[in-house]
Amino acid sequence: MNHRRSVTSLVLVLVLVLGFTALGSAQPVQLRFVSLAWQEQSVAANLAIVDEWNKLNPDIQVEYVHGSWDSIHDYMVTSFETKDVPDIFHYESAQIIDFAQRGYLTDLSTLIPAEMKDDIFDGAWQSVSNDEGQIFGIPFLWESLIVLYNKDILDEAGIDLPTSDNPWTWDDLRQVAKELTKDFDGDGQVDQWGAAIPLRAPVNRIMNLTLGYGGGYFQKVNGKHELKVGDAEKQLLQVIMDMIYVDQTAYPGAVGLSGTAVLPAFYEGDYALIPGIGVWARQQIVENAPDDFNWGVLPPIKGVSQQQGANPQTLSIPRDSKHAKEAMEFIQFFLTKENMTKLALGDWMFPTRESALALPEFQTEEAGWKVSSETVQHLTMGPWQDSAAFAEWKDRVATPVLQELFNNQITVEEAAKRMEEEGQRILRRYQ
C-alpha cells in the first residue's frame, strides 16, 4: 500500500514538473504589425509605442514592419490570397471597405471596448462600417483640406480674413484671388498669383471638396451604386477652370504639381493662397520655409456647406490572422488617448478620439492647429467609399479625364459625360 502511494506521489511530482517545464518553455504569441508611418517623427512615435508594449507584454510580442503607401495594396492582396497575413495592418478606410466586401477582414464590432467606441467620432466609425453594423478597422488619424495663406500679402492688400463662423465661399475665394493677382512691373506677365491649386493627382481632392456642393459622384439607388456627374459635381470643376483659364488668377503650372511641390514657390511669394491642401502640409512649412515666412491657415471653403470627405487611416485585422484577440489587445494599447495624441502630432493630422482632439496641443494658434482642428466637424463619409468599383474608376477613368480637363484639353461638360458614362460601364461589371 505504501509502495502504491509512493508510486502515485512520484507520478504526481513528474506531472507537476513536466507541467511547469511546459509552461516555462511556452513561446510568446508573435504578432506582425505592418505600419505605413513614413515621416521621421511619426515613425519614432510608432516604434516607441511598440517597444513599450513589448516590454510590458512578454507573452505577446509585436514585430514592427515598415510598409509603404505605394505598395501596401498589392502587398495586402498577395497576403490575403496566400493566407500569409500580418496580424495588424495600417491602411485607409476607403480601401479596407473593399477588402471587407471581399471577405478578407475580421469583423471587430464585438472586440472593440465601449470606452474606445464612445470616444472616437461617429463620422470616423461610419467610414469603416457597413450597413449591418460590422466594423472592419479602427480609425485613428484623419485629415482635412485647408487653405494656406501668405499673411504678409493678405495684410498688405487689406483682405478681411474668413472665420470658422463666417467662411469664404468659392465665389469669395475667386474674388479675393482676382484682387491678389498682380503684374507689378507692367510687362504683361503675372508676378504674383492669387492662388495655386495642386492638381497632379486630382481625384481625391476634387471628390472630397465636391461634397461641399452637395455632390458625391456615387450614389446608391435600390441598394446598388450609380455614378452621376451632375450640376453639383460640375460646379467645383467649373470654378477651378474659371480661376485658371478665365480669370487667370490661379497659377496654371500648379496643374502638374503635387501638394508638396507647390510649397517652395509659396514661400517665395509667387502666390498668396493654396486652397484645398491637406493639413499635413503645415509640417513641411514649419520644417522647410524661411524663418521670416509669415503664414496661416484659413477654414475650409464653402459651397453650400463646408462638408468634406473623410478617409481616416485605420488599423485592421485580417480574417486569416490566428491571433485576432491578441491583435485587438495591442490595438487598444496602441490607440489609447495618449498614444493616439503622439501619433497624430507625429503626422500633423487629427486624432479620431474626441478626448485627444480636445487637448491643448490641438487647440493652439501655433502652426494653425486650432483652425485646422475645427475642420473635423465637417468631415463625413463620401458615398464612393463603399463602392467596390471606385478604385478602378478612379485609376482608369477619373484621373486621366480630370488631368485632361485641368490641362484645358476638354470642357467640363465633356469631362462630366466621360466620367459618368465610362464609370457606369465599370459599375455594371461589379454589380
- Residues 292 and 318 grouped into a single domain: no
CATH number at residue 37: 3.40.190.10
C-beta neighbour count of 19 within 10 angstroms: 10
Report if residue 181 sits inside a domain. Answer: yes
Report if residue 235 sits inside a domain. Answer: yes
- Residues 317 and 273 grouped into a single domain: no
Report if residue 413 sits inside a domain. Answer: yes
Host domain of residue 361: 23-143+312-373
Cell of 212: 461641399
d(CA 310, CA 122): 11
- Residues 223 and 244 grouped into a single domain: yes
- Residues 295 and 328 grouped into a single domain: no
- Residues 323 and 346 grouped into a single domain: yes
Using the structure block, give the residue that is written with the C-alpha cell 475665394: 173
| Nearest Cα to Cα of residue 227 among 7, 1, 430 | 430
Amino acid code (one letter) for 342 = K
Encode burial over 152-168: b for 16+ CB neighbours within 10 A, e otherwise.
ebbeeeeeeebeeeebb
d(CA 310, CA 120): 14
| Nearest Cα to Cα of residue 352 among 66, 93, 38, 40 | 93
The total domain count for the chain is 2
d(CA 398, CA 202): 9
- Residues 405 and 260 grouped into a single domain: yes
Q: What pLDDT score was predicted for residue 356? A: 97
What are the mean pLDDT values of the chain's consecutive 10-residue runs (431 residues total)? 46 42 68 94 95 98 96 96 97 90 96 97 92 95 96 97 95 98 95 97 94 94 90 97 98 95 97 95 94 96 94 96 98 98 94 97 95 93 88 94 98 98 92 77
Report if residue 307 sits inside a domain. Answer: no
Q: What pLDDT score was predicted for residue 388? A: 83
- Residues 176 and 55 grouped into a single domain: no
Q: What pLDDT score was predicted for residue 23? A: 44
- Residues 159 and 244 grouped into a single domain: yes
Q: What pLDDT score was predicted for residue 222? A: 85
d(CA 423, CA 397): 7
- Residues 130 and 154 grouped into a single domain: no
| Nearest Cα to Cα of residue 165 among 378, 311, 360, 357 | 378
Report if residue 383 sits inside a domain. Answer: no
Report if residue 18 sits inside a domain. Answer: no
C-beta neighbour count of 91 within 10 angstroms: 20
- Residues 68 and 181 grouped into a single domain: no
Report if residue 2 sits inside a domain. Answer: no
Helices vs. strands in the chain: H and E counts, helices first = 19, 14
Q: What pLDDT score was predicted for residue 226? A: 92
Report if residue 16 sits inside a domain. Answer: no
Using the structure block, give the residue that is written with the C-alpha cell 494599447: 333
Which DSSP letter does residue 253 get? G
Reduce the DSSP state of residue 103 to 3 states and report it: coil
